[in-house]
A and B are shown apart, each in its own frame.
Chain A
Amino acid sequence: GAVVSQHPSWVICKSGTSVKIECRSLDFQATTMFWYRQFPKQSLMLMATSNEGSKATYEQGVEKDKFLINHASLTLSTLTVTSAHPEDSSFYICSASSRRLHEQYFGPGTRLTVT
């Protein structure tokens, strides 16, 4: 099956610093990658959609200057949380899809805690 990895699986950072989360499709080329955020006991909230080689499309209410997304290759997308604050603490999940695949496949998620 399609495998998507995320790194790191968890990270603790100080307020004001930046954190980069990587999302990789291991056995397929992902033409589209999605970044989600999940708050405790809530559903997945789509933050942005990124297509390889082009700028990400952000959902309403998501600050693109705060959540920088880069989809530089068909197997790698990164999310950088800039100048992190405690309210950015959350579970971030990426997913990937391709023209060959019919569904999105999710990474294991990254737990971010900002102190």
Chain B
Amino acid sequence: DQQVKQNSPSLSVQEGRISILNCDYTNSMFDYFLWYKKYPAEGPTFLISISSIKDKNEDGRFTVFLNKSAKHLSLHIVPSQPGDSAVYFCAASGGTSYDKVIFGPGTSLSVIP
């Protein structure tokens, strides 16, 4: 039973355009959401997070939107750059933020120059 879903295994975007990565979750107890970026043969790198009390969090080119009623969040990257090409994992946790985190299956983003 997958609690965090990323239904698009891959996404291709032209350089300079917007990349939108989507994530859905099923557990209503989740109250903290994170996005990680991962290159092959490396550990994930934390990108951005959002608490359930917010519906938007922005950090530079990265913005995460949270729709609690729909149990849906998305990561927007604007403008997309070739260096953004990586696998992006959506993750969620319940309770305190350092509880265990449940990861989605990931979306592989390719930014085409």
Q: Hey, which chain A residues are within 8 Å of B105, CB to CB?
A: 42-43
Is A102 in contact with B97, judged by CB distance below 8 angstroms? Answer: yes
Which of chain A's residues has its CB closest to B97's CB? A102
In the complex, A105 Cα to B97 Cα: how many Å? 12
Is B98 in contact with A99, judged by CB distance below 8 angstroms? Answer: yes
Which of chain A's residues has its CB closest to B2's CB? A43
Interface of A is mostly: strand
- Identify which of residues 12-37 in chain A touch chain B, using a CB-to-CB cut-off of 8 Å: 31-32, 34
Is A97 in contact with B89, judged by CB distance below 8 angstroms? Answer: no
State whether the Cβ of B80 lies closer than 8 Å to any Cβ in chain A. Answer: no
Residues of B that sit less than 8 Å from A by CB? 34, 36, 41-46, 49, 89, 97-98, 100-106
**A32, A49, A103: which contacts B46 (Cβ < 8 A)?**
A103
Is A97 in contact with B106, judged by CB distance below 8 angstroms? Answer: no
State whether the Cβ of A108 lies closer than 8 Å to any Cβ in chain B. Answer: yes
State whether the Cβ of A95 lies closer than 8 Å to any Cβ in chain B. Answer: yes
Is B97 in contact with A43, judged by CB distance below 8 angstroms? Answer: no
Q: Hey, which chain B residues are within 8 Å of A93, CB to CB?
A: 43-44
Given contacts A102-B49, A103-B49, A108-B42, whether A43 and B98 have CB atoms under 8 Å apart is no
